Amino acid sequence: MSTAASEQRTGGSRLIWVPLAGFVLLFAIVAIGLWRPADRTVRSALVGKPMPGIALAPVVAGKPGIEAGRFAKGQARLVNIFASWCIPCAAEAPQLLRLKAMGVPIDAVAVKDTPAAVAAFLARYGDPYDAIGGDPDSAVQFALGSSGVPETFLVDGNGRIVEQHVGDIRAEEVDGLAAKVRGLR
Amino acid sequence: MRRAILAALALLAASGVSPLAADTPLPAQPLAYTQLADPAQEARAKALMETLRCLVCQGQSIADSDASMAGDMRALVRQRIAAGESPAAIRRWLISRYGDYVSYDPPLSGATWPLYLAPILLLLAGIWIARASFRKRRR
């Protein structure tokens, strides 16, 4: 009887550490979450896959839309998802102009925009685009797995999506992006 | 701080500059806020919309969100349901674009199996603990 009681006591003394261990574990999980917050960027599942067949009507006069089969013509290009009402897109404009000056072909998808607003945007911030297709109901955004503006897709000469850049292209990212496009040619 | 904000607001009002609106000038699509005419189709669309994640608000379903992108996704769901597509096919199409993240109904996979197994294991552990403690009491 006394041995059984002492066994129970030692078992109990070991069990006493369980709540503390649980607390330490929980604390560690919360601390990791605080110091290294999870990346909440929604990325397209189409990276590495062929560009969906999209055909978009032109938005502004004198600039073609995006015709079907445009992305499988042997030339790597950037597809910039932008909108005139998007402020980071305006911040991104100088970087796109520099990319164009470096010889990188850029097409655009104007999301939920009006021709007049796009024309005003291009007049104010410059026009780096070879073609601009309109996406009035976000259908192309969904087809591409894009979740906001601006986003930029790097498409190789066979029409395969190589990379998705979420958010505006920063000045320090221009050279790397241009080198990637050149490498795909 | 408050005075600074008031001063900034007064300056803004005086200069005639309106705050920048970072939203689309286009009106919402009709099907973003209008139910389908067929109640059965609308019920199917609603059930699906409640289990699809709004991509720009992330913590909400597209049925709950007022974001313009969520509205466009609702329109997409309703258009496809009205065209006769099944909810499962629409979910698959979105998952092929955005990954499992877009769905609030995660499939059983390498990363999600603990989600499905943990409740069963916890229930078994509970039964085991309850049995052990009942036995002790009976003795």
Which residues contact residue B33 at a Cβ distance below 8 angstroms, ignoring those fewer than 6 apart? Answer: B71, B74
- Is A53 within a domain? no
Would you place residue B28 in the very low, low, confident or very high pLDDT band (cuts 50, 70, 90)? confident
Rounded mean pLDDT of chain A?
Answer: 90
DSSP type of residue B12: H
- Is A60 within a domain? no
Helix axes A17-35, A2-15, angle to 10 degrees: 10
Would you place residue B90 in the very low, low, confident or very high pLDDT band (cuts 50, 70, 90)? very high
Contact flag B72-A45 (C-beta cutoff 8 Å): no
* pLDDT at residue A4 greater than cutoff 60: no
**B91: part of which helix (H) or strand (E)?**
helix B87-98
Same domain, A74 and A12: no
| Cross-strand bridge partners of residue B32 | none
Give the domain range for residue A131. 70-184
The count of domains in chain A is 2
Contact flag A147-B55 (C-beta cutoff 8 Å): yes
Are B78 and B87 in contact, with CB atoms under 8 Å apart? no
pLDDT of residue B118: 93
* pLDDT at residue A33 greater than cutoff 50: yes
Same domain, A30 and A75: no
Instruction: Compute the distance between CA of residue A185 and CA of residue A75 in angstroms, rounded to an integer.
Output: 6
Same domain, A103 and A25: no
Distance from CA of B2 to the nearest CA of A (A): 26
- Is A106 within a domain? yes
Same domain, A154 and A89: yes
Would you place residue A2 in the very low, low, confident or very high pLDDT band (cuts 50, 70, 90)? very low
- Is A63 within a domain? no
Same domain, A99 and A23: no
DSSP chain A: -HHHHHHHHHHHHHHTHHHHHHHHHHHHHHHHHHHS----PPPPTTTTSBPP---B-B-STTS--B-TTGGGSS--EEEEEE-TT-HHHHHHHHHHHHHHHTT--EEEEEES--HHHHHHHHHHH----SEEEEETTSHHHHHHT--SSSEEEEE-TTSBEEEEEESPPPGGGHHHHHHHHHHH-
- Is A98 within a domain? yes
Instruction: Give the model confidence (pLDDT) of A116-144 as tens digits.
Output: 999 999 999 999 999 999 999 999 999 99
- Is A61 within a domain? no
Same domain, A126 and A176: yes
Are A159 and A50 in contact, with CB atoms under 8 Å apart? yes
Distance from CA of A109 to the nearest CA of B (A): 14
* pLDDT at residue B6 greater than cutoff 80: no
Mean pLDDT of A30-45: 89
Same domain, A136 and A87: yes
Structure tokens at A68: 């079907």
Would you place residue B110 in the very low, low, confident or very high pLDDT band (cuts 50, 70, 90)? confident
* pLDDT at residue B16 greater than cutoff 50: no
Mean pLDDT of B122-137: 91
Cβ-based interface (< 8 Å): residues of B facing A: 20-26, 29, 55-56, 58, 68-69, 72-73, 75-76, 94-99, 101-102
Kindly list the residues from chain A whose CB atom is less than 8 angstroms away from the CB atom of residue B107: none
* pLDDT at residue A32 greater than cutoff 90: yes
- Is A148 within a domain? yes
Distance from CA of B6 to the nearest CA of A (A): 24
Would you place residue B83 in the very low, low, confident or very high pLDDT band (cuts 50, 70, 90)? very high
On whether any CB of chain B is under 8 Å from the CB of A109, the answer is no
Rounded mean pLDDT of chain B?
Answer: 85
pLDDT of residue A11: 55
Q: Phi/psi at A153 (nearest 5 deg)?
A: -105, 135
Same domain, A9 and A86: no
Contact flag A85-B101 (C-beta cutoff 8 Å): no
Same domain, A87 and A156: yes
* pLDDT at residue B45 greater than cutoff 80: yes
Which residues contact residue B99 at a Cβ distance below 8 angstroms, ignoring those fewer than 6 apart? Answer: A43, A45
- Is A137 within a domain? yes
Cβ-based neighbour number of residue B53 at 10 Å: 22
CATH code for position A155: 3.40.30.10
Same domain, A111 and A164: yes
Kindly list the residues from chain A whose CB atom is less than 8 angstroms away from the CB atom of residue B22: 85-87
